[in-house]
């Protein structure tokens, strides 16, 4: 606050104070821009004559603009059969103002908040990553951020959030379709837009811009058969036999357990039982950083077939601490590097179409069902939550002896080496090179 001014009587040109006395003058407060408040903007309008008509004057809020615009509506003629008395004119004026939503709270919020999609998207991302209830994973955050920045913002970034409705969503879908994006991708992008719009809430948690989305009007494309590549037993056997060193162990472990690649790269030796037949999935890795698993159901125990346990024992050797697959710096391996530098070149050499690591997980699921493994155990091993009340009653996952019996019975579906095959050209991690790997490789059929 500014300090008050203290003046002597002789300092004021027209002083009314006796000489030698003082007066205190508080300076004029600085001009502050008033915030728009609904309570101060309620209006009944003013009825005046304008030519041969009575009109009601009112002010309308404009999106992104502090000052309102004056407008008017005709109420009735001044004379003639349609002329109205004073009380009737006031009643009709109120009806006219109500019909156009002059005092509507929702319309006031829509037009006065002035939030653009780009601004709200930034707030949404900050909230989604920092919230305590179901915060999004770094991988999801990266995908959403890139989608917002490179795809959505160039199209609707400057749109006021109040103006993002079924019409603007339809325009977005048409723009995305013109870019040649798949139906699934378009659906994902529109879901992200809906999430951003619904994230704008009042201090009481009520949505500022509630919407009833109309998929038919928006013309959202229907999703057909998805591309979900997997491997046959023959191809998978070639992949494991043709790989070397720690890559061979990674591919064999992913295919024989159904672990997600992030869960494989996030494994620590303390998460593996002494006999290497049980894995506790407690964390995962993404872009070289450890994080919590994808879902609460992903925290689980996964049984390992004895053939894979032998390979793990040979690979781990005398190590007792640290990551199962560490980088040179002791951090988790980068999934993108492993995919680009090792896995995709291997598939190309084998003449196999390029795909991602999730194909190992699909292989394991398919193999377990071929061997008629109990569905409850399949969900338990894969970390999928139950879909029915009955699933909650089943306790097969707690029967360790039965789990291990089924794991041995179903096998792996491919040949698992006793020891990792040595790479004569290079071992990309000094930690991996500690193990003395035999070039002679014995194979056990674990099917």
- Final residue of a structural domain among 112, 143, 164: 112
Asked, for residue 225, whether it belongs to a domain, the answer is no
Are residues 82 and 25 both part of a single domain?
Answer: no
Provide the number of structural domains found in the chain.
Answer: 4
Mean pLDDT for 418-446 is 48
Q: Return the higher-pLDDT residue of 381 and 60.
A: 381
pLDDT at position 54 is 94
Mean per-residue pLDDT over the chain, rounded = 83
Residues 387 and 266 in one domain: yes
Structural element, H or E, at residue 379:
helix 375-382
Is 38 part of any domain? no
pLDDT at 311 over 70: yes
Note whether residue 227 is domain-resident: no
What the block records as the tokens of 277 is 């037949």
- 261 shares a domain with 292: yes
Instruction: Provide the b/e sequence for 390-407 (b: ≥16 CB within 10 Å).
Output: eeeebeebeeeeebbebb
Rounded Cα gap, residues 436 and 422, in angstroms: 8
Quickly state the pLDDT bin for 426 (edges 50, 70, 90). very low
Tell which wins on pLDDT, 24 or 217: 217
Domain shared by 125 and 197, yes or no: yes
Q: 175 and 298 share a domain?
A: no
Radius of gyration of the chain (CA): 35
Does the residue 228 lie in any domain? no
pLDDT digit string, tens, across residues 213-267: 999 999 999 887 777 899 999 999 999 999 999 999 999 999 999 999 999 999 9
369, pLDDT greater than 80 = yes
Cα 360 from Cα 446, distance rounded (Å): 16
Closest-CA residue to 379 (of 370, 387, 390): 387
Same domain, 267 and 404: yes
More confidently predicted of 268 and 65? 268
Q: Do 310 and 410 belong to one domain?
A: yes
Q: Within a domain: residue 224?
A: no
Together in a domain, 22 and 48: no
Given 87, 112, 137, the domain boundary residue is 112
Query: Residue 99 is part of which domain span?
Result: 43-112
92 and 144 assigned to the same domain: no
Please indicate whether residue 204 or residue 395 has the higher confidence score (pLDDT): 204
């Amino acid at each position: 606050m500014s300090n008050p001014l203290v003046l002597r009587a002789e300092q004021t040109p027209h002083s009314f104070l006796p000489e030698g006395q003082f007066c205190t003058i508080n300076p004029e407060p600085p001009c502050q821009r008033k915030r728009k408040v609904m309570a101060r903007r309620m209006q009944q309008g003013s009825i005046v004559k304008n030519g041969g008509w009575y009109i009601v004057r009112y002010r309308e809020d404009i999106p992104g603009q502090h000052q309102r615009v004056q407008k008017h509506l005709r109420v009735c003629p001044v004379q003639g059969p349609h002329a109205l008395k004073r009380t009737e004119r006031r009643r009709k004026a109120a009806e006219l103002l109500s019909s156009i939503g002059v005092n509507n709270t929702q319309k006031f919020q829509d037009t006065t908040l002035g939030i653009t999609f780009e601004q709200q998207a930034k707030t949404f991302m900050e909230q989604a990553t920092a919230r305590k209830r179901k915060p999004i994973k770094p991988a999801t955050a990266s995908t959403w951020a890139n989608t917002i920045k490179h795809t959505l913002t160039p199209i609707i970034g400057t749109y006021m959030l109040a103006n993002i409705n079924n019409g603007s969503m339809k325009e977005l879908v048409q723009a995305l379709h013109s870019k040649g994006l798949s139906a699934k991708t378009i659906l994902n992008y529109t879901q992200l837009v809906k999430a951003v719009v619904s994230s704008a809430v009042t201090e009481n948690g009520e949505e500022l811009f509630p919407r009833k989305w109309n998929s038919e009007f928006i013309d959202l494309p229907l999703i057909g058969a998805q591309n979900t590549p997997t491997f046959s037993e023959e191809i998978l056997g070639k992949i494991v036999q043709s790989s070397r060193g720690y890559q061979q162990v990674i591919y064999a472990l992913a295919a024989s357990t159904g672990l997600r690649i992030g869960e494989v790269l996030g494994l620590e030796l303390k998460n593996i039982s002494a006999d290497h037949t049980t894995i506790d999935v407690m964390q995962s890795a993404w872009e070289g950083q450890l994080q919590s698993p994808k879902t609460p159901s992903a925290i689980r125990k996964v049984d390992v077939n004895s053939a894979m346990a032998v390979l793990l024992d040979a690979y781990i050797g005398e190590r007792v601490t640290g990551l199962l697959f560490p980088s040179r710096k002791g951090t988790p391996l980068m999934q993108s590097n492993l995919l680009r530098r090792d896995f995709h070149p291997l598939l190309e050499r084998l003449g196999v179409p390029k795909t991602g690591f999730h194909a190992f997980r699909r292989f394991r699921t398919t193999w377990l069902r071929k061997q008629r493994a109990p569905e409850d155990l399949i969900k338990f091993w894969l970390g999928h939550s139950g879909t029915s009340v009955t699933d909650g009653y089943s306790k097969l996952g707690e029967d360790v002896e039965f789990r291990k019996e089924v794991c041995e019975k179903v096998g792996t579906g491919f040949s698992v080496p006793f020891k990792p095959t040595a790479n004569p050209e290079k071992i990309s991690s000094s930690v991996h090179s500690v193990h003395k790997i035999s070039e002679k490789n014995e194979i056990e059929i674990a099917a």
